[in-house]
Chain A
Amino acid sequence: MVQKLEFSLGKQLGNPLFNFDDCKSYHLNKKNFHEIKPASPKRKIAFVDGGNQEIFHAPNFSIQVNRVYFSMFRNNERILPKSDIPTKIEFISMVSSEYDKDKKEVFYETSIFPSLNDYQEYLPLEKDLSFSSKERAVMLGMQRYDIERVSSIARRFAEWSFSRHVIQNEMEDDDMIVRDGSLQISFANEDKYSEEAFKAAQKENVYFTGLSKTSHLYTDTGLSLIGSIQEFAEECGIDHDLWCYYPIADRWAPTHKAVIMIAKFNSCSDRIFRFEILREQFQKMDEYAILNVLSSIADNSKDFCFPGYPYGLIDADLRARVRSEELDIYRTLILSEISKKPELLNKFNFHVRATDSHDILNNIAGD
């Protein structure tokens, strides 16, 4: 096995590989390393993340708890919103699927129920969350939507929508917003919300960025892009404390309007991350401005617990995450509501049990 591993990793680093027609990738080049120098940008950074967890599941429907959260820092100190925007919004979403025998397609429908009425304004419209399985799949390789997959749609849309509000209510010129993950979109109608957010950012001159913990990018020799660049940095003897690498690829896809870079945000960390800036903004920035934005992230990436990764995102992840203890509470709440209608309860039990056995097995296995 070790031999096999040696072989796999011993390959040439190769060049970034993007399986898109509209994509041009660049060769690895030492010149593409840029040092991030400590600057003391006083900009406000907003971090946005969301989380969702399923509370009930049946083959034809799924009920989820969703939460989207944002926090803001300046000089590494938390700042509270000046407007009355909540720092987190919570809602329950229910996705159901229906097979249309005539059209031979599955029709997905999502309803959302905010836990406070006030959250309504930050949430996507239900009509945008409904689509048919035959509709053009925006996400690559995705032929049919699995209901579980679809169930995160409400949360994703809400993230965009909430981000827009954050920008509009809280952000000013030269501030930035960092989203957990990439700026890529996956669902029908998602662009409607992402575009609104991007537009708002451009209007306020707020940098719209994304940072991914994990990256699914590879080189043309099949190695992980991030690993390769790390190794390449060593080969080239890059001794900057902090650096970033770009350009990596040039792509102009409507589903991914961002410039990708790989960055090392803390000298004490081996980890490097994929970082994206909204392309339209990137193109208007000079190198100094770009590095200044990166420096802002670096400044927030000093926490002992996860060096090199922004504390704001750690925080956002922690607060957005829906915990299993909470699920029980929601489950009980919903069941008690359902039980007020005995017929419905009966039906509900019947359908839910169809997939429940899986959960039961999981429980026994202690998963």
Chain B
Amino acid sequence: MDDKFQTIGQIIGGGSSRILIREKDGSKLELGGLLVIDDADDQTLILQINDLEYRSLIPQSMHELASGMNLEGLGTNLEFMEPQLRNYIVSRSKAILHLVDGIPRIPKTLPTYFNSVRHITEKDLKFLTKPKNPLYLGDVRSGSKILNLPIYIDASEAIPHHILIPATTGRGKSNLVKVMLWSLLDLDNFGILVLDPHDEYYGRNELCLKDHPNNKNLVYYSPDAPAGTNTLVINIKSILPDHLKEIINFSSAQNDAIYRYYNTFGNEWIIKIVEGVEIQDISFKTLQVLKRKFDNILGVYFDELGQFQSRNNIFSDTAGKTTIKDVINSLEDGKIVVIDTSRLLGDAEMLVGSIITETLFNRYQRYKLEGSLNEKPKIGVVIEEAPRVLGKEVIEAQGHNIYSTIAREGRKFNIGLIAITQLVSLIPRTILANINTKIILGNEMAQERAEIIGSASQDLSDDNRTIASLDKGEAIVSSIFTKFAVPIQIPLFEEYCSEHIKESEHQNSRSKREDKNIAFI
């Protein structure tokens, strides 16, 4: 018989919430592992292991005595005979899926008592088909064994319904986002805005998105743009008071002043403030504070020669007049726009993101009114450290911002968030409830796990241990679009993309050569 179909355990009790399975000696069942019970007549039950424990037919005191003797070097001629029969492991498993003729249902019955259990195979999950707009996340994983079964979610459903990627540091959030973006580059009908505070997605010096065979779908903005990419330069005049107010806390005096300057000078308001142009009724002190604030946040000031200067070269008084529009046009063209915000301080980064997102949101609102929304690509916005904009405290202090607005209403306008966070607990439940796909990576913080489990689309109450034990690249996809919380292994990006590049090079090896030498006139 095929190795895969070997019995690895047997049901020995339990109930609907926990089915107890005795492990066949040496089967090495794993937390999170997927098991299959072939019940009668094309009825298959898929279980997932939530917990493992030792059991023994030998009284505990005997074990303790035995180990005492071993440790003290006594009784060397004693052993436990037939240990595999008398000491064993019992897994506590939960039925996660009931397949009737291959069609998945929520399990409502228990499998036949004492039935034998085997490992899952690709065939058992053949109902997991490739959707129309495949967004690849990884391969199905049973414990730490990886199945040859890729998992896709449909980007056109998942993105507008928002995606959350929670994990503590170093568990592979960025790696996952790279894998996702790589897969999205193959799709022409999704615009993805990536605010990249670590400049890690474009691949300036290493293999990354720029190396995608379909990289014409990738647009990169950086203050230090490599050849062929766009310079991140934003005209200071495209910043409106409302953009700033969402991100930065202003006193009411400052607020008044901002609007006075805006009403007086229009889009030159920031320039006039940093230039120190005084207007009536605005105190010198307020002006000075604002000047300092803008220097701190935007890095803009006037030098001794009375010249406008930008410390980071990102906010300019002359260049970058169309940057925001260009970014949005690219998104509307179904491209992935990566914005390297690594030179920007947190607030400025959020500001850049807000201006783009807000303009985009307004534009899509208009499309909806005009009835043309459905012709436009759906948009995803990737934000790192999401609590900076979606956190309870931020929203309480500054009111709703464009990101929280998108979280609540974006779906109506085909705009969704792909939010990355280490701390889910900082995000209000109301927002979490709107995020309908969660790709849960490892998390050792109990409180965070509780929040994640509490807001998941499936009942993950038994998966606490499993989530804690997720290794790098191991994840659980809980989504209203998946039939169950699918355990996956996310590939290491470098390996995944090298493979993909090789494949496509192989396919295109002929057609590429031709257009190399173009005539120049």
Contact = CB atoms under 8 A, between A and B. Distances in A.
Interface stretch (A171-179, A250-258, A302-310): A302-310
A207 interface: no
Contact of A307 (B58, B59, B78, B85): B78
Contact of B77 (A268, A300, A311, A315): A268
A303 B74 contact: no
Given A76-B81, A311-B81, A311-B82, A305 B74 contact: no
Given A304-B58, A304-B78, 9 more contacts: A266-B77, A268-B69, A268-B74, A268-B75, A300-B81, A302-B79, A303-B79, A304-B65, A305-B59
Nearest to B59: A305
Contacts of A268: 69, 74-75, 77-78
A302 B78 contact: yes
A241 B75 CA distance: 12
Nearest to B77: A302
A87 interface: no
Contacts of A240: none
Interface in B78-98: 78-82, 85
A203 interface: no
B50 to A, nearest CB: 30
Interface residues of B, number: 15
Contacts of B79: 302-304
B66 interface: yes
A202 interface: no
A267 interface: yes
Nearest to A76: B81
A281 to B, nearest CB: 27
A315 B75 CA distance: 21
A77 B81 CA distance: 8
B66 to A, nearest CB: 4
A78 interface: yes
A239 to B, nearest CB: 15
A78 B66 CA distance: 22
Interface hub of A241, A267, A304 (most chain B Cβ within 10 A): A304
A305 B58 contact: yes
A297 to B, nearest CB: 13
Contact of A303 (B65, B69, B78): B78
B62 interface: yes
Contacts of A300: 81
B81 A266 contact: no
Interface of A: 76-78, 241, 266-268, 300, 302-305, 307, 311, 315
Contacts of A76: 81
Contacts of A267: 77
Nearest to B57: A318
B62 A304 contact: yes
Contacts of A304: 58, 62, 65-66, 69, 75, 78-80
A315 B66 CA distance: 19
A305 B62 contact: yes
25 contacts: A77-B82, A241-B77, A266-B77, A266-B78, A267-B77, A268-B69, A268-B74, A268-B75, A302-B77, A302-B78, A302-B79, A303-B78, A303-B79, A303-B81, A304-B58, A304-B62, A304-B65, A304-B69, A304-B75, A304-B79, A304-B80, A305-B58, A305-B62, A305-B80, A307-B75
B77 to A, nearest CB: 6
B80 A303 contact: yes
Contacts of B66: 304
Nearest to A304: B66
Would you list the 8 A-B pairs with minimal beta carbon distance, nearest first? A311-B81, A304-B66, A303-B81, A268-B75, A304-B78, A302-B78, A302-B79, A268-B78
Nearest to A242: B77
A31 B74 CA distance: 30
Contacts of B81: 76, 300, 302-303, 311
Contacts of A241: 77
A246 B75 CA distance: 27
Interface hub of B66, B77, B80 (most chain A Cβ within 10 A): B77
Contacts of A78: 82, 85
Interface hub of B59, B78, B79 (most chain A Cβ within 10 A): B78
B24 to A, nearest CB: 15
Nearest to A73: B81
Nearest to B82: A78
Interface string B174-202: 00000000000000000000000000000
A311 B86 CA distance: 12
Interface hub of B58, B59, B62, B82 (most chain A Cβ within 10 A): B82
Contacts of A303: 78-81
Contacts of A315: 82
A98 to B, nearest CB: 44
Contacts of A305: 58-59, 62, 80
Interface in B300-315: none
B25 to A, nearest CB: 12
Interface hub of A241, A267, A303 (most chain B Cβ within 10 A): A303
Contacts of B77: 241, 266-268, 302
B80 to A, nearest CB: 6
A300 B74 CA distance: 18
Interface in B35-76: 58-59, 62, 65-66, 69, 74-75
Contacts of B59: 305
Interface hub of A300, A302, A307 (most chain B Cβ within 10 A): A302
Contacts of B65: 304
A192 to B, nearest CB: 35
Contacts of A311: 81-82
A367 B116 CA distance: 38
A6 B112 CA distance: 61
Contacts of B69: 268, 304
Nearest to B74: A268
A302 B79 CA distance: 6
Nearest to B58: A305
Contacts of B74: 268
B428 to A, nearest CB: 55
A266 B79 CA distance: 11
B56 to A, nearest CB: 10
Interface in B142-175: none
Nearest to A299: B77
Interface hub of B58, B74, B79 (most chain A Cβ within 10 A): B79
B243 to A, nearest CB: 74
A241 B76 CA distance: 12
A78 B81 CA distance: 10
Nearest to B70: A304
Nearest to A318: B57
Contacts of B78: 266, 268, 302-304, 307
A302 B82 CA distance: 11
A165 to B, nearest CB: 24
A311 B80 CA distance: 9
A300 B81 CA distance: 8
Interface in B261-304: none
B414 to A, nearest CB: 64
B273 to A, nearest CB: 84
Contacts of A307: 75, 78
Contacts of A77: 82
Contacts of B58: 304-305
A182 to B, nearest CB: 24
A279 B69 CA distance: 39
B493 to A, nearest CB: 48
A266 B74 CA distance: 13
B9 to A, nearest CB: 20
B57 to A, nearest CB: 9
Interface hub of A78, A266, A305, A307 (most chain B Cβ within 10 A): A305
